[in-house]
Amino acid sequence: MKLTKELWGTSPCGKEIYLYTIENSKGAYVKLSSIGAGIVSVVVPDKDGNLADVVLGYAEPASYFGDGPCSGKIPGRYANRVALGKFTLDGVEYTLPVNNGPNHLHGGPEGFQNKVWESREHEGGVEFMYYSEDGEQGYPGAVKTVARYEWTEENELRLTLTAESDAPTVINLTNHAYFNLNGEGNGDILGHIFTLNASEYLPTDATQIPLGESAPVAGTPMDFVNGKPIGQDIKADFEPLKIGKGYDHCWVIDGAEPGQIQFCCELYAPESGRVMEMYTTQPGVQVYTGNWLSGCPAGKNGHVYEDYTGVAIECQNYPDAPNKPDYPSSELRPGEVYEQAIIFAFGVK
């Protein structure tokens, strides 16, 4: 395995930005950035052995700061939405910045995704660390977060997320990479076959806050249990799809158990033959079909991304869990370690 590090630029506040490349013996490689501990590229072969980058990204490092799509990065302190930017913990109400309609999204405008993380090569992988001060974006407690990436000879990208806090807080971490298995900039993902290990999803209100209980996917456009093209039902006369102009929902992963790796989904592009399987310890997965990508910063290799040219598959806790006692707990207390894993396994068929 070959691991290299290069200076990629500087942030608006003058911090150095580093880009890491991990390449295996077959020539497949990933590029990782210290901006939001992000995935910049995943270059893997198609059914004919041709390499291509299957992750959307930008031409300039500066474009990764404050971008609407949160491309490739790790949002936090709480990924996804918190209703009205408020939650109560141990009897104290906390107020967070509202940046998505009436709600708080991805930790706010200055969330983890818009920070330059500390980074190092460590034991064959790359580790990124971010220290979030007590009160940052309204959250209680100082939190140290570490994101560790490993790239294998089998073309698996393994991500481990850990965090510790010095006071009670809430946390929800994931990765927000957008995938197109025909190669970034090469058309839309509506023809990708998507199979999801989830027989229930979380219906939401018009602002995409879960209503509470999960609902069965059977008989609805939310059913991916047996696999179907992403675009097959995306324009269906179904209120949840009208709200977000496509899929932007959290599914409940079947068989999810805390601390146990479980199969989440499979994404397959018949044209290229590339397939990506995902496994995770997380209880849910937010699937966002890039419904609002048009107008995002200029893409890599001169590409311009339009709506539906990439899909984000975000393994995570449920949206608004801090306000939903029946959901898996998002609380992190002193002496505890938050630890979650996501595996992106690439192949062909």
pLDDT tens across 178-204, in order? 999 999 999 999 999 999 999 999 999
pTM score of the predicted model:
0.98
Whole-Å CA distances, 336 to 8, 128, 254, 345: 35, 20, 26, 29
What is the C-alpha to C-alpha distance for residues 43 and 124, in angstroms, rounded to an integer? Answer: 19
- What is the mean pLDDT of the segment spanning 310-323? 98
Binned at pLDDT 50, 70 and 90, residue 50 comes out as: very high
- Please indicate whether residue 176 is annotated as part of the active site: yes
- Tell me what the pLDDT averaged over the chain comes to: 97
What is the C-alpha to C-alpha distance for residues 171 and 99, in angstroms, rounded to an integer? Answer: 18
Whole-Å CA distances, 238 to 9, 40, 210, 222, 305: 45, 34, 16, 10, 26
Binned at pLDDT 50, 70 and 90, residue 17 comes out as: very high
Binned at pLDDT 50, 70 and 90, residue 59 comes out as: very high
Binned at pLDDT 50, 70 and 90, residue 44 comes out as: very high
- Please indicate whether residue 314 is annotated as part of the active site: yes
pLDDT score of 145: 98
pLDDT score of 43: 98
pLDDT score of 123: 92
Catalytic residue, chosen from 104, 106, 176, 249, is 176
pLDDT digits (tens, 9 = 90+) for 131-162: 999 999 999 999 999 999 999 999 999 999 99
Three-class SS state of 240: helix
Pick the CATH number of 2-348 from 2.60.40.10, 2.70.98.10, 3.30.1540.10, 2.60.40.2470: 2.70.98.10
CB 160 within 8 A of CB 147: yes
pLDDT score of 228: 98
pLDDT digits (tens, 9 = 90+) for 210-258: 999 999 999 999 999 999 999 999 999 999 999 989 999 999 999 999 9
The two structure tokens encoding residue 112: 């983890």
